[in-house]
Amino acid sequence: MNTPVVKDTYLAQERPQNLYILLVRFLRGGVLPISIFCLVATAFASAPKAQIQSADNRPSSEAIVVTLGTAGGPRPRVDRHQSANLLIVNGTPYLIDAGDGVVGQINRAGFDFRKIGHIFITHNHSDHTMGLPALLATQWEFQRRDPVTIHGPLGTAKLMKGAMAFLAVNSEIRSAEGFPSSLSALVKTNESEPGVIYRDDNVTVTAAENAHYNFPRESAPYGRHKSFAYRFDTAERSIVFSGDTGPSKGLAKLAHGADILVTEVSDVDELMQLYKQNGIWDNKTPEERQQWLFHQRNEHMSPAQVAELAISAGIKTIILTHFPPAGGKDDDFARRVEQVKAAGFDGEVFAAHDLDRF
pLDDT value at 22 more than 70 = no
In this predicted model, what pLDDT tens digit does every residue of 176-227 receive, in sequence order? 888 867 898 899 999 999 999 999 999 999 999 999 898 888 888 989 999 9
pTM value is 0.82
Q: How do the domains of the chain map onto residue ranges? A: 1-57, 59-266+301-357
Three-state DSSP at 237 gives coil
Residue 234 has pLDDT above 90, yes or no: yes
Whether 328 shows a pLDDT value over 70: the answer reads no
Provide mean pLDDT across the span 30-37.
38
3-class DSSP state of 348: strand
pLDDT in tens, 111-164: 999 999 999 999 999 999 999 999 999 999 999 999 999 999 999 999 999 999
Going by pLDDT thresholds of 50, 70 and 90, the confidence category of residue 50 is: very low
pLDDT of residue 160: 98
> Residue 306 class from Cβ within 10 Å (0-12 exposed, 13-18 middle, 19+ buried)?
buried
**Residue range 77-82: average pLDDT?**
93
Q: How would you write 30-64 as a 3-class SS string?
A: CCCCHHHHHHHHHHHHHHHHHHHHHHHCCCCCCCE
- Beta strand 228-233 pairing with 84-89: unpaired
Which is higher by pLDDT, 24 or 257?
257
Pairing verdict, β 238-241 and 195-199: unpaired
The per-residue pLDDT for 51 is 32
What was the pLDDT predicted at 67?
99
Query: Coil, strand, or helix at residue 208?
Result: strand
Calculate the dihedral angle through the C-alpha atoms of 109, 113, 115, 117, rounding to the nearest 10 degrees.
110
- Residues above pLDDT 70, as percent of the chain: 81
pLDDT at 52 over 70: no
- The CB-side HSE value for 89 (13 A sphere, CA atoms) comes to 20
User: What is the share, in percent, of the chain residues with pLDDT greater than 90?
Assistant: 63
pLDDT at 278: 74
Q: Is the pLDDT of residue 34 over 50?
A: no
**Least trusted range by pLDDT, from 3-17, 52-66, 216-230:** 3-17
Lowest-confidence segment of 170-179, 307-316, 321-330 by average pLDDT: 321-330
Nearest Cα neighbor of 63 from 37, 89, 82 is 89
Answer yes or no: are the C-beta atoms of 232 and 63 closer than 8 Å.
yes
Task: Give the pLDDT band of residue 47 (cuts 50, 70, 90).
Answer: very low
Average pLDDT over residues 26-55: 35
Distance, CA of 13 to CA of 108 (rounded, Å): 7
Sort 116 into a burial class: Cβ within 10 Å, 0-12 / 13-18 / 19+: buried
In the three-class reduction of DSSP (H, G, I as helix; E, B as strand; rest coil), residue 186 is classed as: coil
Q: Which SS3 state, helix, strand or coil, does residue 109 take?
A: coil
Yes or no: say if 312 and 252 are a contact pair by the CB < 8 Å rule.
yes
The most confident of 168-182, 240-254, 266-280, 288-302, by mean pLDDT: 240-254
Whether the pLDDT of residue 349 is over 80: the answer is yes
Q: Give the residue among 81, 115, 118, 85 at the shortest CA–CA distance from 100.
A: 81
d(CA 297, CA 246): 8
Task: Please check whether residue 204 is in contact with residue 237, taking contact to mean a CB–CB distance below 8 angstroms.
Answer: no
Confidence grade of residue 292 (pLDDT, cut at 50, 70, 90):
confident
pLDDT at 40: 30
| pLDDT higher than 80, residue 298 | no
Burial 166-194 (b: 16+ CB within 10 A, else e): ebeeebeeeeeeeeeeebeebbebbbbeb
Q: pLDDT value at position 327?
A: 62
In the beta sheet, which residues pair with residue 351? 320
| Mean pLDDT estimate for the chain | 84
Q: Looking at domain 59-266+301-357, which CATH architecture does it have? A: 4-Layer Sandwich (3.60)
Question: What pLDDT, on a 0 to 100 scale, did the predictor assign at position 109?
Answer: 98
